[in-house]
Structure 1
C-alpha cells in the first residue's frame, strides 16, 4: 500500500505558524503566550479586513486566511499580547478613544523595541505626545482624535481590537479570567533581561539568529567583554578565527596572535574547555597589549617570545584567570618577579635548551605572528595601533580598580603604567646625562678683563663676568667610537652631532676620542665643535671594543672620574667597564650583554 503524502501547509498558514513560534519562544512574550489561546478558524471574532482581536479572557482571534510575512504576524501577535500585559481591558466612558490610545501606545512601544515588521497601513510615524495610555486618552477626549492615529490598531479603521466580556469559544478551561496578565509580563521582562545577559556572556545564542553552537573560545571572548573590563576592549576589537585547516597551514597547534590584523587564531583540534580558552585568550591579549611585538628591539624573535610567555603565564596564574591548559605551556616558578628582558638575558646563555621549548603555537615557533610588512609598526597606521593598544590596557586597569575586581601582580601593573606614559626621546635623555656629570660653570667678576665702560661714567672701570679659573680642569669625558664595517654612518652623524652640541652647551672644552674596531686609533683631545665636522673615520674592520675601553681607563692624562660614551651598533662582544659609562646604539638593536650603565637607543 502506497504511503500517503504528508500534507503541506499553505503559505498563509506557514507564515502565521512561524510568527506564532517566534513569539512563543521570545523570553518577554513567552509567559503571556503560554496563558493565551490563539483562535484561527472560520467564524471567529476577527473582522474581514482585520488581522487579530484580543478578548479580556485571553483569547486572540486571528484572521484565518490573511496572508502576511512571518515578521508581520510577529508584530500583530505581540500587539495583541501587550493589550493583556499592559492591563488595557478597562471600562472607560469613551471605549473607542481608549482603544485608540492603547493602540498608539503599543505601536510606539514596538517601534522602540524594533520587534517585527508592521503591516502596510500600520507603519505610519509613531510620535505620541503623552507618556501613558491614560494621558493620551484624556488628550483625545479633550482635543479630539487625530486622523493619523487611526491606523495603529490591528483590525483597521472603524473597528476595535479589544473586546470586553466576549463569548467563550471552546471548553471552559480556556476561559482564563483569573490570570494576572501584568504579572506574566513582569516575568517576561525578567526573562528577557536574563536572556540578554546570557547572550552577551556567550552562554545563550541570540533569539532568531542562526542556531550555531557557541564554541568555548567564543564563550570565553564574550566573558571578557561582559565581565572582565581589564581586557574587555581588546576582546571586543579582536577577531577570533577557528579554522583547523588555516591553523595547520600556519603551524599553530593551540593559538597565535597577529597584532597587525587584530586576529587571534585558535586551533579547535587542541580541545580546550572554556576556562582554558580564557587563559589562552588572555595570554594573547597581553602579548599585544604590552606591545611585545614592538619591544623586541633586535632580539631573537622566538627567544623573546619565550621570555614574554614565562612572564605572562606567571601573572595569569597569580591572577587566577582561567585554567592553565592541560596541553602545556611555559611556566617556571624560579623566574617569578623577573622582567621579560631579564629572562631573555638568561635564555641567551642556554639557547640550545630553550630552542626546544614550545609556545602555544608549537615547538620552535613564537605565538606572536610576524607581520606581513616588517616595518609596519613605523607606519602611520602602526602609530594608531600603538595608541589603541596602550589605551586598551590602561583604561581597562582603571575600570578594574573602579569596580573592585581584586588585586593584580605588581609587575603587571607597573608594566601597564609604564606603557601608558610616552617614551622619552633619546636626545632628551642624553641631555639629562650631561646635566648629571657637567653642572653649569660658575661665573665670577674679574677686573683683568674690563667690560665696556658706561657712557655716563667713562672713567670708572667695571669688572666683567668670567668663568672661575680652574673650573674647566677635569671637565671632559671619553668617546669610544665603533668604526667597524657594520656601523651605520647615520648613527655616527646623529650621535656625534648630539655629543658636540651638548658638550658646547655644557662648557666642555675638550673630549677624548678613541676609534675602535679591530685595532685602537687614539685621536687625542678634540674640541667639541671639531668632533662632528672634521673627524675622519679609520679602520672599518671587525668590532672589538674592549681594547679601546682599556686604553682610556689606563691613560694617565685622562681624568679618573671622567665618564665614557660608547657608540656602537650592538654587534660586539661582552665588555668590562669600571667607570661610569653609557651606550648609544641604534633603535631596534640589542646588546648581547646587560650593561650597568645607561643605554640610549638612537632613532
Structure 2
C-alpha cells in the first residue's frame, strides 16, 4: 500500500511540474498539442501527461531528425530545425503519443528494435492517414496501402524476411528508433499501465461525445491491449485440446455393462474407447535440460503438460531430454511423468538433434505434434517438420522468428 501510494504521488508530482524554462508555449508543436487535447479526446488525457521538448541541442545529441518519444521520462522530442507546419506537427505529435498508448516498446519482446519500430510506424501512419489527422511531414512517412489492415507483428515478419529493406526505411527519428525506452524498469512499466488506461478512457470519451469515427483496427487494438492477458496454462491447454479432442466412445456388446447383472434377460453394452485411437493419441515432448534451465522450471512445465494431457485422455508421450545431446526416454506414461524426478543433461544447449531423433523414429506417428520446452538459449534457427509449439520459461524469447505457438511461462 505504501509503495503504491508513493508511486502515485511521484506520478502526480511529475505531471504537475512546470514546463522547461526554454519551452516555447506558442511554438507550432505546442499549438498542435493543445489542438489535439481540445479536439481529439482519444489522445487528450494521454497528451496532458507528456512534456514537449523542443531543443535543437538535445535533438542533435540524440540524433533526432524529426521527433521521438521517451515513455519512461514522459517526454516527446520535436526537432525545431525541421520547422513543421501546424498540420504536420499534429500528425507527428499524434504519431508519437500513440506509440506510448499502445505500449509498443514493451510489446517488442525480443524482436529487432528497429524493424519492430518500423512495423509499428506502418500501422500508426495508416490509422492517422485514414482519420485525416494532420498531414505527414516530408521525408518522414512510412505508409503502404498494401499493408493496410495488417498487424504490427505480421508486418514485422515480412520485414524480417528481407533485412536489406532496412536501408530504405526511416522512422521520424531517422535511421534509428523513435521509441527511446531501452529497458523495462518498474517506473517505465507503471507509466505504460497509465498510458493504456488513459488511451482507453480517451476512446470511451471520444465515442461518447461523437467526435468522429476511428479506424476499426485502432479501436480493436486499444480494447485488446486493456484486456487481461490469457494465462500461458490456458493457451497450452487449448493447444492440446485442439490436437487431441476427446475420443468418441462406442458401444460394444463384447463387453457387457456393469449393470448387466441387474437385468440378465436384457443385454446391455458398455461404452468403450476405440483401441486404434488410444494408440495414436500421443505427442513428443522435448525438454531442454541444459544448465541454464532452472530446476523449478523443469518441474512446472511438465506438470502442466501432465495435467492437460490427462484431461484430454492422452495416456503417453514420447519424451526426449536434451542439452548438447538428446537422451531418448521412449514412450512414457502420463502418470509416471507426473512423478518423474530424474533428468539427464545439464550441459550446453543444442535442440536440433533431439528434433531429428523424434522425427526419424518409425514408432513415432508422423502426424503427432511436438512440444519443445526451453529457455530460448538455443540455436538461432530450428527445422521442425512436424506440427509443434514452444513453451518458454519466464521472460525469455526465442532467438528466431516463428509463426508457431510460443507460450511464455509467468
Correspondence for 2:337 among 527, 531, 548: 531
Selected match of 2:226 from 381, 397, 420: 420
Q: Which residue of 2 aligns with 1:582?
A: 389
Q: 1:403 to 1:590 in 2, by over 3 A?
A: farther
Residue of structure 1 aligned with 2:181, choices 343, 360, 370: 370
Deviations 1:456-497 (A, max 9, x none): x9xxxxx9x997573633222111233456555554333222
Structure 2 equivalent of residue 498 of structure 1: 304
Find the partner of 2:122 among 297, 310, 334. Answer: 310
Check the 8 A contact 2:287/2:373 in 1, yes or no: yes
The alpha-carbon deviation at position 447 of structure 1 amounts to: 8.6
After TM superposition, the structure 1 = structure 2 runs for residues 50-449 of structure 1, keeping only pairs within 5 Å, are 214-354=26-166, 357-363=169-175, 365-370=176-181, 374-376=183-185, 379=186, 384-440=190-246
TM-aligned CA distance change 1:327 to 1:450, over 3 Å: closer
Q: Measure how far apart 1:514 and its partner are.
A: 1.9
Q: Does structure 1 residue 592 correspond to structure 2 residue 400?
A: yes
Moved more, 516-525 or 381-390: 381-390
Q: Secondary structure at the residue paired with 1:473?
A: helix
Q: Quote the Cα distance in structure 1 between the aligned partners of 2:112 and 2:294.
A: 21
**Residues 332-359 of structure 1 deviation map (CA, whole Å, 9 limit, x = unaligned):** 4443332221222233333344157432
**Partner residue of 1:482?**
288
- Unmatched segments (≥5 aa) in structure 2: 1-22, 263-267
2:13 aligned partner: none
| Ranges of 4+ aligned residues in structure 1 off by more than 6 Å | 443-451
The structure with more radius of gyration: 1
1:545-595 deviations in Å (ceiling 9; x for gaps): 2x4334333422223443221223344344444443222124451452323
Task: Report the Cα distance in structure 1 between the residues aligned to 2:112 and 2:181, rounded to whole angstroms.
Answer: 12
> Quick check: 2:281–2:314 contact (8 Å CA) kept in 1?
yes
CA deviation digits over 1:406-448, x for unaligned, max 9?
Answer: 4433332332232122110101211222333344576999999
Counterpart check, 1:601 vs 2:402: no
Residue 487 and residue 346 in structure 1: after superposition, are their counterparts in 2 closer, same or farther (change >3 A)? Answer: farther
Q: 2:12 aligns to what?
A: none
Between the aligned partners of 1:358 and 1:467, the Cα distance in structure 2 is 63
TM-score (norm 1): 0.56
Instruction: Please give the alpha-carbon distance, in whole angstroms, between the structure 2 residues aligned to 1:526 and 1:598.
Output: 24
Distance 1:437 1:535 in 2: 28
Q: Distance in 1 between matches of 2:227 and 2:392?
A: 22
With 573-582 and 242-251 compared, the bigger mean Cα shift is at 573-582
- Aligned-pair CA distance for 1:599: 2.1
Task: Kindly indicate whether structure 1 or structure 2 has the higher relative contact order, using CA contacts under 8 Å at least 6 residues apart.
Answer: 2
**1:159-186 Cα shifts (integer Å, max 9, x gaps):** xxxxxxxxxxxxxxxxxxxxxxxxxxxx
Provide, for residues 107-166 of structure 1, a one-character-per-residue CA deviation record: whole Å limited to 9, x for no partner.
Answer: xxxxxxxxxxxxxxxxxxxxxxxxxxxxxxxxxxxxxxxxxxxxxxxxxxxxxxxxxxxx
CA 1:324 to 1:489, structure 2 compared with 1: closer, same or farther past 3 Å? farther
Paired positions, count: 376
Partner of residue 379 from structure 2, selected from 553, 572, 577: 572
Between the aligned partners of 2:128 and 2:294, the Cα distance in structure 1 is 41
- C-alpha distance in 1, partners of 2:44/2:73? 18
Report the CA distance between 1:516 and its aligned residue.
3.9
| Contact 1:303/1:355 (<8 A) preserved | no
1:513–1:522 CA contact under 8 A, matched in 2: yes
Which TM-score applies when normalising by structure 2? 0.79
Answer whether contact 1:438 1:475 (CA < 8 A) is retained. Answer: yes
- Paired with 2:169 and 2:47, the residues of 1 have a C-alpha distance of 28
* Cα drift, residue 326 of structure 1: 2.0
CA contact (8 A) 1:318 1:409 kept: yes
